[in-house]
Structure 1
Amino acid sequence: MIIDYENEDIHELAREEWLKEIAYTYGDQITKLAYSYLKDWNQAQDVAQDVLLTCFKNYENRSKISSYKAWIYRVTVNRSKDILKSSFLKKVVLNNSLVKLIHAVEHSPETAALRNEENNQLIEAVFALPIKYREVVLLYYYEELDTKEISEIIRINENTVRTRLRRARDRLGDLLKGGSLNE
Protein backbone atom coordinates (compact mmCIF):
# COMPACT_ATOMS: atom_id res chain seq x y z
CA MET A 1 0.00 0.00 0.00
CA ILE A 2 1.40 3.37 -1.04
CA ILE A 3 0.57 6.33 1.20
CA ASP A 4 0.31 9.72 -0.44
CA TYR A 5 1.69 11.95 2.32
CA GLU A 6 1.28 15.12 0.29
CA ASN A 7 -2.50 14.63 -0.06
CA GLU A 8 -2.70 13.62 3.61
CA ASP A 9 -0.92 16.83 4.62
CA ILE A 10 -3.22 18.94 2.44
CA HIS A 11 -6.27 17.19 3.91
CA GLU A 12 -5.00 17.82 7.46
CA LEU A 13 -4.33 21.51 6.67
CA ALA A 14 -7.85 21.89 5.26
CA ARG A 15 -9.27 20.27 8.42
CA GLU A 16 -7.27 22.64 10.65
CA GLU A 17 -8.32 25.70 8.64
CA TRP A 18 -11.95 24.60 8.84
CA LEU A 19 -11.68 24.23 12.62
CA LYS A 20 -10.01 27.66 12.94
CA GLU A 21 -12.88 29.20 10.99
CA ILE A 22 -15.45 27.44 13.20
CA ALA A 23 -13.61 28.56 16.37
CA TYR A 24 -13.31 32.14 15.11
CA THR A 25 -16.94 32.34 14.01
CA TYR A 26 -18.66 30.51 16.89
CA GLY A 27 -16.15 30.24 19.75
CA ASP A 28 -17.39 33.17 21.82
CA GLN A 29 -21.05 32.36 21.20
CA ILE A 30 -20.78 28.73 22.25
CA THR A 31 -18.84 29.70 25.38
CA LYS A 32 -21.53 32.24 26.31
CA LEU A 33 -24.26 29.73 25.52
CA ALA A 34 -22.63 27.10 27.72
CA TYR A 35 -22.20 29.71 30.45
CA SER A 36 -25.91 30.51 30.30
CA TYR A 37 -26.58 26.91 31.33
CA LEU A 38 -23.69 26.27 33.69
CA LYS A 39 -23.16 29.68 35.32
CA ASP A 40 -19.48 28.83 35.57
CA TRP A 41 -17.04 30.39 33.13
CA ASN A 42 -14.36 27.69 33.42
CA GLN A 43 -16.84 24.92 32.76
CA ALA A 44 -18.30 26.90 29.86
CA GLN A 45 -14.83 27.16 28.33
CA ASP A 46 -14.38 23.40 28.80
CA VAL A 47 -17.67 22.78 27.00
CA ALA A 48 -16.60 25.10 24.18
CA GLN A 49 -13.35 23.16 23.80
CA ASP A 50 -15.29 19.90 23.80
CA VAL A 51 -17.64 21.24 21.11
CA LEU A 52 -14.66 22.30 18.95
CA LEU A 53 -13.15 18.84 19.41
CA THR A 54 -16.46 17.34 18.26
CA CYS A 55 -16.33 19.61 15.20
CA PHE A 56 -12.77 18.45 14.47
CA LYS A 57 -13.83 14.81 14.75
CA ASN A 58 -16.82 15.40 12.46
CA TYR A 59 -14.87 17.11 9.70
CA GLU A 60 -15.55 14.23 7.32
CA ASN A 61 -19.31 14.67 7.87
CA ARG A 62 -19.35 18.44 7.30
CA SER A 63 -21.18 18.13 4.00
CA LYS A 64 -24.08 16.42 5.81
CA ILE A 65 -24.52 19.36 8.20
CA SER A 66 -27.08 21.76 6.74
CA SER A 67 -26.54 24.54 9.29
CA TYR A 68 -23.30 24.70 11.25
CA LYS A 69 -24.73 27.26 13.64
CA ALA A 70 -27.74 25.13 14.58
CA TRP A 71 -25.62 21.97 14.80
CA ILE A 72 -22.93 23.60 16.95
CA TYR A 73 -25.50 25.19 19.25
CA ARG A 74 -27.30 21.84 19.61
CA VAL A 75 -24.03 20.13 20.54
CA THR A 76 -23.28 22.94 23.03
CA VAL A 77 -26.73 22.74 24.64
CA ASN A 78 -26.51 18.96 24.91
CA ARG A 79 -23.01 19.05 26.45
CA SER A 80 -24.10 21.72 28.91
CA LYS A 81 -27.18 19.74 29.92
CA ASP A 82 -25.03 16.64 30.38
CA ILE A 83 -22.89 18.52 32.87
CA LEU A 84 -25.95 19.86 34.67
CA LYS A 85 -27.29 16.31 35.00
CA SER A 86 -24.02 14.99 36.37
CA SER A 87 -23.45 14.74 40.08
CA PHE A 88 -20.28 16.79 39.62
CA LEU A 89 -22.27 20.01 39.43
CA LYS A 90 -24.48 20.46 42.49
CA LYS A 91 -23.96 24.10 43.46
CA VAL A 92 -23.34 27.03 41.15
CA VAL A 93 -22.82 30.65 42.15
CA LEU A 94 -23.94 33.40 39.81
CA ASN A 95 -20.84 35.11 38.50
CA ASN A 96 -21.51 38.72 37.60
CA SER A 97 -18.74 38.63 35.00
CA LEU A 98 -21.46 37.81 32.44
CA VAL A 99 -22.26 41.51 32.52
CA LYS A 100 -18.88 42.11 30.89
CA LEU A 101 -19.78 39.72 28.10
CA ILE A 102 -22.98 41.49 27.16
CA HIS A 103 -22.54 44.39 24.80
CA ALA A 104 -22.04 47.23 27.26
CA VAL A 105 -21.48 50.66 25.79
CA GLU A 106 -20.45 53.11 28.48
CA HIS A 107 -20.90 56.82 28.01
CA SER A 108 -20.43 58.50 31.39
CA PRO A 109 -19.65 56.98 34.79
CA GLU A 110 -23.22 57.70 35.95
CA THR A 111 -24.77 56.15 32.84
CA ALA A 112 -22.42 53.20 33.09
CA ALA A 113 -23.33 52.64 36.75
CA LEU A 114 -27.06 52.78 36.00
CA ARG A 115 -26.71 50.48 33.00
CA ASN A 116 -24.54 48.08 35.00
CA GLU A 117 -27.17 47.92 37.76
CA GLU A 118 -29.96 47.35 35.23
CA ASN A 119 -27.91 44.64 33.49
CA ASN A 120 -27.19 42.96 36.82
CA GLN A 121 -30.88 42.93 37.71
CA LEU A 122 -31.86 41.60 34.31
CA ILE A 123 -29.15 38.93 34.31
CA GLU A 124 -30.06 37.81 37.81
CA ALA A 125 -33.72 37.66 36.79
CA VAL A 126 -32.91 35.63 33.66
CA PHE A 127 -30.75 33.23 35.68
CA ALA A 128 -33.53 32.89 38.25
CA LEU A 129 -35.82 31.47 35.56
CA PRO A 130 -36.22 27.72 35.25
CA ILE A 131 -33.86 26.28 32.62
CA LYS A 132 -36.65 25.68 30.07
CA TYR A 133 -37.43 29.42 30.03
CA ARG A 134 -33.86 30.63 30.46
CA GLU A 135 -32.58 28.71 27.43
CA VAL A 136 -35.18 30.13 25.03
CA VAL A 137 -34.65 33.68 26.33
CA LEU A 138 -30.89 33.47 25.92
CA LEU A 139 -31.07 31.87 22.49
CA TYR A 140 -33.69 34.34 21.27
CA TYR A 141 -32.45 37.63 22.73
CA TYR A 142 -28.71 37.14 23.20
CA GLU A 143 -27.93 34.79 20.34
CA GLU A 144 -30.60 36.41 18.12
CA LEU A 145 -31.93 33.11 16.83
CA ASP A 146 -35.47 32.85 15.52
CA THR A 147 -38.03 30.46 17.01
CA LYS A 148 -37.54 27.92 14.22
CA GLU A 149 -33.78 27.74 14.85
CA ILE A 150 -34.37 27.44 18.60
CA SER A 151 -36.86 24.62 18.08
CA GLU A 152 -34.26 22.74 16.02
CA ILE A 153 -31.49 23.31 18.55
CA ILE A 154 -33.37 22.22 21.66
CA ARG A 155 -35.61 19.83 19.76
CA ILE A 156 -39.02 21.06 20.78
CA ASN A 157 -42.00 22.28 18.78
CA GLU A 158 -41.76 25.86 17.49
CA ASN A 159 -45.09 26.74 19.17
CA THR A 160 -43.63 25.50 22.46
CA VAL A 161 -40.69 27.87 21.97
CA ARG A 162 -43.11 30.78 21.50
CA THR A 163 -45.11 29.77 24.57
CA ARG A 164 -41.95 29.52 26.68
CA LEU A 165 -40.78 32.93 25.45
CA ARG A 166 -44.12 34.50 26.39
CA ARG A 167 -44.13 32.86 29.83
CA ALA A 168 -40.49 33.80 30.39
CA ARG A 169 -41.22 37.45 29.54
CA ASP A 170 -44.17 37.41 31.97
CA ARG A 171 -42.01 35.94 34.74
CA LEU A 172 -39.19 38.37 34.04
CA GLY A 173 -41.63 41.26 34.23
CA ASP A 174 -42.84 40.01 37.62
CA LEU A 175 -39.28 39.51 38.88
CA LEU A 176 -38.13 42.95 37.77
CA LYS A 177 -41.16 44.54 39.46
CA GLY A 178 -40.11 42.88 42.71
CA GLY A 179 -42.16 39.70 42.57
CA SER A 180 -40.97 36.15 42.74
CA LEU A 181 -40.99 33.13 40.47
CA ASN A 182 -43.61 31.39 42.59
CA GLU A 183 -46.31 33.97 42.09
Structure 2
Amino acid sequence: MVRKHSDMVLRLALAYVRNMADAQDICQDVFIRLFQHHPEFADQDHERAWMIKVTINRCKDMLRSPWKRYISAMERPELPIPEKEDREVVSAVLKLPVKYRIVIHFYYFENYSTAEIAAMLQYKEGTVRTQLKRARERLKAVMGGMEDE
Protein backbone atom coordinates (compact mmCIF):
# COMPACT_ATOMS: atom_id res chain seq x y z
CA MET A 1 0.00 0.00 0.00
CA VAL A 2 2.79 2.41 0.89
CA ARG A 3 4.70 1.71 -2.32
CA LYS A 4 1.56 1.98 -4.41
CA HIS A 5 0.18 5.24 -2.98
CA SER A 6 3.00 7.15 -1.30
CA ASP A 7 3.98 9.22 -4.36
CA MET A 8 0.40 10.27 -5.03
CA VAL A 9 -0.24 11.13 -1.36
CA LEU A 10 2.99 13.13 -1.09
CA ARG A 11 2.32 15.05 -4.33
CA LEU A 12 -1.23 15.87 -3.25
CA ALA A 13 -0.11 17.00 0.20
CA LEU A 14 2.65 19.15 -1.32
CA ALA A 15 0.17 20.74 -3.71
CA TYR A 16 -2.11 21.50 -0.78
CA VAL A 17 0.27 22.74 1.92
CA ARG A 18 3.16 24.01 -0.28
CA ASN A 19 5.83 22.80 2.10
CA MET A 20 7.77 19.55 1.67
CA ALA A 21 8.31 18.93 5.40
CA ASP A 22 4.60 19.35 6.15
CA ALA A 23 3.69 17.22 3.13
CA GLN A 24 5.94 14.43 4.39
CA ASP A 25 4.32 14.64 7.84
CA ILE A 26 0.88 14.41 6.27
CA CYS A 27 1.95 11.46 4.14
CA GLN A 28 3.15 9.66 7.23
CA ASP A 29 -0.09 10.47 9.09
CA VAL A 30 -2.22 9.12 6.23
CA PHE A 31 -0.44 5.76 6.31
CA ILE A 32 -0.58 5.61 10.10
CA ARG A 33 -4.35 6.10 9.88
CA LEU A 34 -4.55 3.43 7.21
CA PHE A 35 -2.77 0.90 9.42
CA GLN A 36 -4.69 1.89 12.55
CA HIS A 37 -8.16 1.68 11.02
CA HIS A 38 -7.70 -1.21 8.54
CA PRO A 39 -10.50 -0.08 6.21
CA GLU A 40 -11.87 -2.63 3.78
CA PHE A 41 -11.97 -1.48 0.18
CA ALA A 42 -14.36 -2.69 -2.50
CA ASP A 43 -11.81 -2.16 -5.29
CA GLN A 44 -8.71 -0.19 -6.33
CA ASP A 45 -10.73 2.97 -7.04
CA HIS A 46 -12.27 2.91 -3.57
CA GLU A 47 -8.82 2.44 -2.04
CA ARG A 48 -7.37 5.38 -4.00
CA ALA A 49 -10.37 7.59 -3.20
CA TRP A 50 -9.98 6.83 0.53
CA MET A 51 -6.30 7.77 0.39
CA ILE A 52 -7.11 11.04 -1.40
CA LYS A 53 -9.91 11.97 0.99
CA VAL A 54 -7.82 11.28 4.10
CA THR A 55 -4.90 13.24 2.61
CA ILE A 56 -7.10 16.26 1.87
CA ASN A 57 -8.64 16.12 5.35
CA ARG A 58 -5.19 15.95 7.00
CA CYS A 59 -4.03 18.91 4.88
CA LYS A 60 -7.06 20.95 5.93
CA ASP A 61 -6.46 20.02 9.58
CA MET A 62 -2.85 21.13 9.35
CA LEU A 63 -3.69 24.45 7.69
CA ARG A 64 -6.38 25.15 10.32
CA SER A 65 -4.13 24.43 13.26
CA PRO A 66 -3.21 27.39 15.47
CA TRP A 67 0.45 26.51 15.06
CA LYS A 68 0.30 26.94 11.28
CA ARG A 69 -1.62 30.20 11.52
CA TYR A 70 1.10 31.93 13.49
CA ILE A 71 4.28 30.16 12.51
CA SER A 72 5.60 30.08 8.97
CA ALA A 73 8.61 28.33 7.53
CA MET A 74 11.77 30.41 7.45
CA GLU A 75 12.66 29.17 4.00
CA ARG A 76 10.98 27.02 1.43
CA PRO A 77 12.82 23.79 0.70
CA GLU A 78 13.92 23.14 -2.86
CA LEU A 79 11.44 21.08 -4.84
CA PRO A 80 12.78 17.57 -5.55
CA ILE A 81 12.24 17.88 -9.31
CA PRO A 82 15.30 17.40 -11.52
CA GLU A 83 14.14 19.26 -14.65
CA LYS A 84 14.30 23.06 -14.37
CA GLU A 85 11.29 23.58 -16.63
CA ASP A 86 9.16 21.12 -14.63
CA ARG A 87 10.26 22.79 -11.39
CA GLU A 88 9.12 26.18 -12.75
CA VAL A 89 5.70 24.78 -13.67
CA VAL A 90 5.23 23.17 -10.25
CA SER A 91 6.39 26.37 -8.53
CA ALA A 92 3.83 28.34 -10.54
CA VAL A 93 1.09 25.87 -9.59
CA LEU A 94 2.05 26.13 -5.92
CA LYS A 95 1.54 29.91 -6.07
CA LEU A 96 -2.13 29.45 -6.97
CA PRO A 97 -4.87 29.58 -4.32
CA VAL A 98 -5.67 26.16 -2.86
CA LYS A 99 -8.96 25.70 -4.75
CA TYR A 100 -7.12 26.09 -8.06
CA ARG A 101 -4.04 24.10 -7.01
CA ILE A 102 -6.08 21.05 -6.14
CA VAL A 103 -8.10 20.87 -9.35
CA ILE A 104 -4.94 21.45 -11.43
CA HIS A 105 -3.17 18.72 -9.46
CA PHE A 106 -5.96 16.18 -9.92
CA TYR A 107 -6.52 17.01 -13.59
CA TYR A 108 -2.94 17.23 -14.86
CA PHE A 109 -0.82 15.30 -12.36
CA GLU A 110 -3.24 12.51 -11.37
CA ASN A 111 -5.14 12.36 -14.71
CA TYR A 112 -8.65 12.50 -13.27
CA SER A 113 -11.59 13.74 -15.34
CA THR A 114 -13.60 16.76 -14.25
CA ALA A 115 -16.47 14.44 -13.25
CA GLU A 116 -14.17 12.35 -11.04
CA ILE A 117 -12.67 15.48 -9.45
CA ALA A 118 -16.14 16.83 -8.76
CA ALA A 119 -17.16 13.58 -7.08
CA MET A 120 -14.02 13.46 -4.91
CA LEU A 121 -14.24 17.09 -3.81
CA GLN A 122 -18.05 17.08 -3.60
CA TYR A 123 -18.36 19.96 -6.08
CA LYS A 124 -20.53 20.33 -9.14
CA GLU A 125 -18.75 19.40 -12.35
CA GLY A 126 -19.32 22.91 -13.72
CA THR A 127 -17.52 24.33 -10.69
CA VAL A 128 -14.51 22.13 -11.37
CA ARG A 129 -14.43 23.20 -15.03
CA THR A 130 -14.65 26.87 -14.02
CA GLN A 131 -11.85 26.45 -11.47
CA LEU A 132 -9.68 24.72 -14.09
CA LYS A 133 -10.28 27.55 -16.55
CA ARG A 134 -9.46 30.21 -13.99
CA ALA A 135 -6.40 28.29 -12.80
CA ARG A 136 -5.11 28.04 -16.38
CA GLU A 137 -5.61 31.78 -16.83
CA ARG A 138 -3.68 32.52 -13.64
CA LEU A 139 -0.90 30.11 -14.60
CA LYS A 140 -0.65 31.77 -18.00
CA ALA A 141 -0.27 35.16 -16.31
CA VAL A 142 2.27 33.87 -13.76
CA MET A 143 4.36 32.02 -16.34
CA GLY A 144 4.54 34.91 -18.76
CA GLY A 145 1.72 34.02 -21.12
CA MET A 146 3.11 30.93 -22.84
CA GLU A 147 0.43 30.37 -25.49
CA ASP A 148 1.34 26.79 -26.42
CA GLU A 149 1.77 25.36 -22.89
- The two structures share one fold, judged by TM-score above 0.5: yes
Alpha-carbon offset, residue 82 of structure 1? 1.1
The aligned amino acid for 2:78 is N
1:147 partner letter = T
CA offset digits 1:27-77 (Å, max 9, x no partner)? 111011111112222221221121112222332543499611112111101
| TM-score (norm: length of structure 1) | 0.68
For normalisation by structure 2, the TM-score amounts to: 0.82
1:150 aligns with 2:129: no
Bigger RCO (CA 8 Å, 6+ sep): 2
Query: Residue 31 of structure 1: SS of its match in structure 2?
Result: helix
Query: 1:160, 1:134 → 2: CA distance?
Result: 14
Structure 2, gaps ≥5 residues long = none
Q: Look up the SS of the partner of 1:99 in the other structure.
A: coil
* 5+ residue gaps, structure 1: 1-21, 105-115, 179-183
Root-mean-square deviation over aligned CA pairs = 2.2
Pair 1:40 & 2:19 matched: yes
Q: Residue 111 of structure 2 aligns to a residue in which SS?
A: coil
Which structure has the greater CA radius of gyration? 1
Q: Alignment length, in residue pairs?
A: 142
Write the distance in 2 (CA, Å) between the matches of 1:134 and 1:75: 17
Is the CA contact 1:77–1:154 (under 8 Å) kept in the aligned structure 2? no
**Aligned partners of 1:66 and 1:120: how far apart in 2?**
29
* Residue 126 (structure 2) aligns with: 159
- Corresponding residue for 2:49? 70
> Given that residues 79 and 87 in structure 2 are in contact (C-alpha distance below 8 angstroms), is that contact kept between their aligned partners in structure 1?
no
User: Do the aligned partners of 1:71 and 1:153 also contact (CA within 8 Å) in 2?
Assistant: no
